[in-house]
Amino acid sequence: MIRQADQDRADQIPQHRAVCAIQVPSTDSPHADLEESPFGLADRARLDACYRRYGRDSLWVRSHIRAGLPDLSSDQLIPESWLDYATAVQRPNLPPTHPIHRTRRIAIDLGEGVGRDSTSILVRDADGIIDLIAGNSLCLADAAEETARLDRIWAVDDSRISYDKLGIGRDFRNHLVRRGLGNAIGYAGSRRPQDPNRFLTVIRRFLP
């Protein structure tokens, strides 16, 4: 919408119909210097917490706190030029007995199926990405079936399959077990006090 304001101005859209964009950084909050705002406005504690979490010069801070316009749209995490370069690189044609094939693994990120939130199933080895299935219409059963299909194609040991076991992933293991993938590893993407090493253990197990 903020870019629409520039476009409306360039197209000479009448003022009563045009978008009017006003950029107000959070640091202009009248309570920015207070430890805690009595009205829930941006205060020093909130700003400092964001700086620690995202970094003072991060894209998040520049756009959410300083009201700057990002160079990339919100749905473009990786610049297209990087993707073009990556797809132009040819993987070497290696014999079936090459040790690189033993580094194959499958990672599954389960989406809620809402809007752009897609389930992604990625196959890769130490040389890079081999295969990818993604879509926002994949239910848990479909995702498990696609995982089993990719497992058969690329001969990945099921102990080298990982999935997000939080949220909707709580029941995903049952679907994998029905397809013979009972050794897949569920991981939690954030540390929790009761088991601070869950995520780190998965990383160590999946290192080539």
Mean of the per-residue pLDDT values of the chain = 85
pLDDT higher than 80, residue 115: no
Quickly state the pLDDT bin for 106 (edges 50, 70, 90): very high
Q: What's the pLDDT score for residue 188?
A: 78
- Are residues 106 and 184 located together in one domain of the fold? yes
- Are residues 200 and 103 located together in one domain of the fold? yes
- Are residues 100 and 191 located together in one domain of the fold? yes
Is-above-0.75 flag for pTM?
A: no
- Are residues 140 and 177 located together in one domain of the fold? yes
In a domain, 79, yes or no: no
- Are residues 98 and 184 located together in one domain of the fold? yes
In a domain, 78, yes or no: no
- Are residues 102 and 170 located together in one domain of the fold? yes
In a domain, 160, yes or no: yes
How do residues 145-196 score in pLDDT, each as one tens digit?
999 999 999 999 999 999 988 888 889 999 999 999 999 999 876 544 455 5
- Are residues 156 and 105 located together in one domain of the fold? yes
Range of the domain at 158: 90-206
If DSSP states are collapsed to H, E and C, what string results for the chain?
A: CHHHHHHHHHCCCCCCCCCCCCCCCHHHCCCCCCCCCCCCCCCHHHHHHHHHHHCCCCHHHHHHCCCCCCCCCCCCCCCHHHHHHHHHCCCCCCCCCCHHHHHCEEEEECCCCCCCCCEEEEEEECCEEEEEEEECCCCHHHHHHHHHHHHHHHCCCHHHEEEECCHHHHHHHHHHHHCCCCCCEEECCCCCCCCCCHHHHHHHHHCC
**Which of 15, 46, 64 lies at the terminal end of a domain, its last residue?**
64
**Which of 25, 49, 64 lies at the terminal end of a domain, its last residue?**
64
- Are residues 59 and 107 located together in one domain of the fold? no
